[in-house]
């Protein structure tokens, strides 16, 4: 059985008509409300933002990337300098992924065996090996509050036999992660795989829930599947996850995807969409996406979104934001990202309030009605 980490999950309210719920997760570095969105700080930094920007936007937990921090600057260095929280001057909670998805994305630069994955660095071509034991060792050195079991993410599309083997490998590696983990101040989440096959999702979920992890992630999605398939997989996988454990949907993050997944009982999310889109000049609003490059905003004195309380909307016009972006001024990326992160954090706040007030169905309908007006 898995020794429980320092994580407490309390559900405070449930939607009477859906699986949506409001909760609270306490970690050694603070408490955050669920459903929660975790900004992605791949290399120990949410691109273009300082920790104060994240705090002001309402973020209480962020995600960092095990694979990237292992390669540069190295988990040993981060440990010697006091751990990831001190290294990046972030006082809130941190979740680190196991590196499995990044290794998956290397494709031709990797070789998978029962022991783990041998791969070439995308930085300099040097050869490395990460297995479940190494993934736990790296994450314990980083000192995150929530760490992830090492998994094998099957490509999409994949045939049944390949995904079956992937599920078996993920289960084998998950048990080895449980056995390797020694730091009881960290919570360990298992990652459910199974591709788009419902029976393999059930197999993976039953295997991992038998190991009694602190929480469970639904992995292997947002890899090219259509939205209908994704929603089906989330719904069917969620059925096999214990209701008293937090559920984390990995890497899925369009606003409408978050609304649907919350309805299906998901508690935690991460995605690069708000930061990546900000750097490309796309801003999220309640009425849809704004392409700040559009000439229509060249003399627009209004904010990106009326009523938005983020720093960007309170201080700057769309005309100024367009000017910055077209001039390739670095400030453009910071201001755009502040707004998008605020939008995502505020979206989760809106959903929590709607659930607490037993009006989530109406909120969901209103969300889509507003999006149509964009």
Whether the ω angle into residue 143 lies within 30 degrees of 0, i.e. cis, is: no
User: What is the C-alpha separation between 186 and 188, in angstroms, rounded?
Assistant: 7
Please report where in the chains the tokens 């909307």 appear, as a residue.
Answer: 313
DSSP string, 154-211: --SS--HHHHHHHHHHHHHHHHHHHHH---TTSEEEEEE--TT-HHHHHHHHHHHHTT
CB 225 within 8 A of CB 201: no
Helices 318-326 & 330-356 angle (0-180, nearest 10): 130
CA atoms within 13 A of residue 142's CA, in its CB half-sphere: 36
Query: Residue 235 to residues 8, 17, 230, 261, 268: CA-CA distances in angstroms?
Result: 24, 15, 9, 8, 15
What is the rounded radius of gyration, in angstroms, for the C-alpha atoms of the chain? 20
Instruction: Identify whether 97 is a catalytic site residue.
Output: yes
Read off the DSSP letter of residue 246. -
Pick the closest to residue 20 from 299, 263, 354 (CA basis): 263
Question: What is the token pair recorded at 74?
Answer: 């190295």
List the helix and strand counts (H, then E) for the chain. 15, 17
Instruction: Identify whether 239 is a catalytic site residue.
Output: no
> Of residues 207, 226, 270, 361, which has the active-site annotation?
270
Pick the closest to residue 97 from 169, 149, 165 (CA basis): 149
> Of residues 53, 56, 97, 159, which has the active-site annotation?
97
* N residues, the chain: 374
Read off the DSSP letter of residue 116. -
User: What is the C-alpha separation between 268 and 215, in angstroms, rounded?
Assistant: 10
Question: What is the token pair recorded at 135?
Answer: 């993934």
Torsion of CA 264, 269, 272, 274, to 10 degrees: 80
Please report where in the chains the tokens 């801003």 appear, as a residue.
Answer: 283
Give the catalytic positions in this structure: 97, 270
């Amino acid at each position: 059985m898995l020794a429980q980490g320092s994580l407490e999950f309390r559900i405070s309210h449930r939607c009477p008509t859906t699986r949506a719920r409001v909760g609270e997760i306490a970690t050694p570095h603070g408490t955050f409300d669920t459903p929660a969105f975790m900004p992605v700080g791949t290399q120990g930094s949410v691109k273009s933002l300082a920790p104060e920007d994240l705090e002001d936007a309402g973020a209480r937990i962020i995600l960092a990337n095990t694979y990237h921090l292992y390669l540069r600057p190295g988990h040993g260095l981060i440990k010697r300098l006091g751990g990831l929280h001190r290294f990046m001057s972030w006082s809130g909670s941190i979740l680190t992924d196991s590196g499995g998805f990044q290794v998956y994305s290397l494709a031709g630069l990797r070789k998978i065996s029962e022991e783990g994955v041998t791969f070439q660095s995308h930085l300099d071509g040097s050869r490395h090996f990460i297995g479940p034991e190494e993934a736990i060792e790296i994450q314990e050195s980083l000192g995150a509050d929530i760490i992830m079991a090492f998994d094998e993410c099957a490509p999409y599309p994949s045939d049944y036999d390949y995904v079956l083997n992937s599920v078996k490998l993920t289960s084998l590696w998950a048990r080895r992660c449980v056995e390797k983990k020694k730091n009881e101040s960290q919570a360990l989440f298992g990652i459910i795989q199974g591709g788009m096959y419902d029976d393999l999702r059930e197999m993976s979920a039953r295997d991992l829930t038998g190991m009694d992890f602190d929480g469970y992630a639904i992995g292997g999605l947002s890899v090219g599947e259509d939205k209908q398939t994704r929603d089906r997989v989330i719904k069917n996988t969620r059925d096999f996850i214990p209701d008293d454990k937090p559920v984390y949907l990995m890497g899925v993050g369009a606003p409408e995807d978050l609304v649907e997944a919350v309805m299906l009982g998901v508690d935690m999310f991460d995605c690069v969409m708000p930061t990546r889109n900000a750097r490309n000049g796309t801003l999220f609003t309640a009425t849809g996406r704004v392409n700040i490059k559009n000439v229509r905003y060249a003399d627009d004195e209004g904010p990106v979104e009326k009523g938005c309380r983020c720093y960007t909307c309170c201080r700057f016009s769309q005309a100024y934001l367009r000017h910055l972006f077209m001039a390739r001024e670095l400030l453009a990326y910071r201001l755009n990202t502040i707004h998008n992160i605020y939008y995502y954090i505020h979206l989760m706040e809106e959903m929590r309030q709607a659930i607490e007030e037993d009006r989530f169905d109406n909120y969901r309908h209103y969300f889509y009605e507003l999006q149509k007006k964009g």
